[in-house]
């Protein structure tokens, strides 16, 4: 039995409420690879009996979601990932069949709410452009990374330094930084500080004035761009057409960052990643903007 199956079984056996079950699934979903999600689906399928499985209904919902995500265009097992290591606030993945001759690139993800890029880790990884790459997924979202990564860094600056040292130690170049919602502004600033060639921000967070006062390091994108004197080169912003404030935030950012590109996701609210993944457009857009900025990954 795989480690993931053991963790899944422990979670479902210990859970006494739906919320505890959901919490164990979410925690697992935030660190697993596409192949591991397929293993979980198989395990759930094998015990799909409402008479003997207390969590039959919830697991059926999970399997339906797995089917929908994994059948979407752009979802691929072709360039699968393995987890190199996992800590409370960070997980490092790398692609399998790693091309030793390819540039050693690091992609850094600043997750937002629920410690995810708006979708489970296995969904996001499966839509990434198929290149040899290491992926560092960070979890410190709801406080906008102000308090750092538990166990790894004490504040935002030391988080950036920790990423820089990790990349240096492994001989990796920070190629791309992405952030979603509460992780967007930290991703923007970290991407600039780390010299990333590409930055993708999914749904800039709605940050109020008092939050800016509490988190002066992050602030909003306009203030952040003023501080780093950026014009938005290599920057792609995503916003949902149905979220008026996000659209307004992106429009304001665009005025400040004239070289930035904007993708408005039709029909999407604040969560822009999930509808893109479900409709098979996430991989397409990441490919498009990865290749068109400067030079292709491969």
Summarize as ranges the residues that interact with other proteins (CB under 8 A): 17-20, 22-23, 26, 112-114, 118, 142, 181-182, 205-206, 208, 211, 243-246, 248-249, 269-271, 274
Least Å distance, CB 22 to other proteins, is 5
Residue (132 or 249) nearer to other proteins, CB: 249
Residue (165 or 248) nearer to other proteins, CB: 248
* Nearest in space to 240 (alpha carbons), one of 216, 267, 204: 267
Residue (145 or 293) nearer to other proteins, CB: 145
Residue (100 or 244) nearer to other proteins, CB: 244
Alpha carbon dihedral 55, 58, 59, 60, in 10-degree steps, equals: 120
Least Å distance, CB 91 to other proteins, is 19
Q: How many residues does the chain have?
A: 298
| Separation of alpha carbons 196 and 172, rounded Å | 12
Residue (84 or 266) nearer to other proteins, CB: 266
Left if phi > 0, otherwise alpha if psi is -120 to 50, otherwise beta: which for 267? Answer: left
**Cβ(178)–Cβ(107) below 8 Å:** yes
Least Å distance, CB 18 to other proteins, is 5
Residue (129 or 240) nearer to other proteins, CB: 240
Residue (42 or 208) nearer to other proteins, CB: 208
Burial of 236 by CB count in 10 Å (0-12 exposed, 13-18 middle, 19+ buried)?
buried
Least Å distance, CB 129 to other proteins, is 25
Least Å distance, CB 202 to other proteins, is 13
**Cβ(176)–Cβ(290) below 8 Å:** yes
Least Å distance, CB 207 to other proteins, is 8
| Separation of alpha carbons 254 and 259, rounded Å | 8
Q: CA-based angle 240:139:245, to the nearest 5?
A: 25
Q: Going along the chain, which residue ranges are E strands?
A: 81-87, 90-95, 105-110, 134-138, 173-180, 198-202, 235-240, 261-265
Q: CA-based angle 246:249:252, to the nearest 5?
A: 150
Residue (233 or 247) nearer to other proteins, CB: 247
């Amino acid at each position: 039995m795989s480690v993931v199956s053991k963790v899944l079984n422990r979670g479902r056996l210990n859970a006494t409420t739906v919320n505890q079950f959901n919490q164990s699934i979410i925690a697992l979903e935030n660190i697993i690879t596409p192949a591991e999600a397929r293993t979980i689906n198989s395990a759930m399928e094998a015990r799909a009996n409402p008479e003997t499985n207390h969590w039959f209904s919830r697991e059926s919902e999970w399997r339906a979601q797995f089917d929908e995500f994994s059948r979407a265009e752009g979802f691929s097992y072709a360039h699968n990932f393995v987890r190199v290591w996992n800590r409370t606030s960070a997980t490092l993945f790398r692609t399998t069949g790693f091309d030793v001759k390819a540039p050693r690139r690091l992609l850094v993800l600043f997750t937002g709410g629920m410690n995810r890029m708006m979708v489970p880790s296995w969904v996001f990884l499966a839509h990434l452009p198929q290149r040899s790459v290491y992926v560092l997924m960070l979890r410190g979202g709801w406080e906008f990374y102000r308090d750092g990564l538990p166990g790894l860094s004490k504040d935002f600056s030391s988080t950036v330094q920790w990423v820089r040292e990790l990349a240096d130690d492994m001989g990796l170049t920070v190629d791309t930084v992405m952030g979603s919602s509460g992780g967007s502004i930290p991703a923007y600033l970290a991407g600039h500080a780390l010299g990333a060639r590409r930055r993708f921000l999914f749904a800039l967070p709605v940050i109020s004035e008092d939050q800016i006062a509490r988190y002066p390091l992050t602030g909003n994108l306009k203030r952040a761009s003023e501080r780093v004197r950026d014009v938005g080169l290599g920057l792609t912003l995503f916003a949902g057409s149905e979220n008026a404030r996000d659209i307004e935030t992106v429009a304001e950012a665009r005025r400040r960052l004239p070289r930035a590109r904007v993708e408005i996701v039709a029909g999407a609210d604040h969560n822009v990643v999930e509808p893109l993944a479900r409709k098979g457009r996430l991989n397409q857009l990441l490919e498009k903007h990865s290749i068109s900025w400067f030079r292709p990954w491969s």
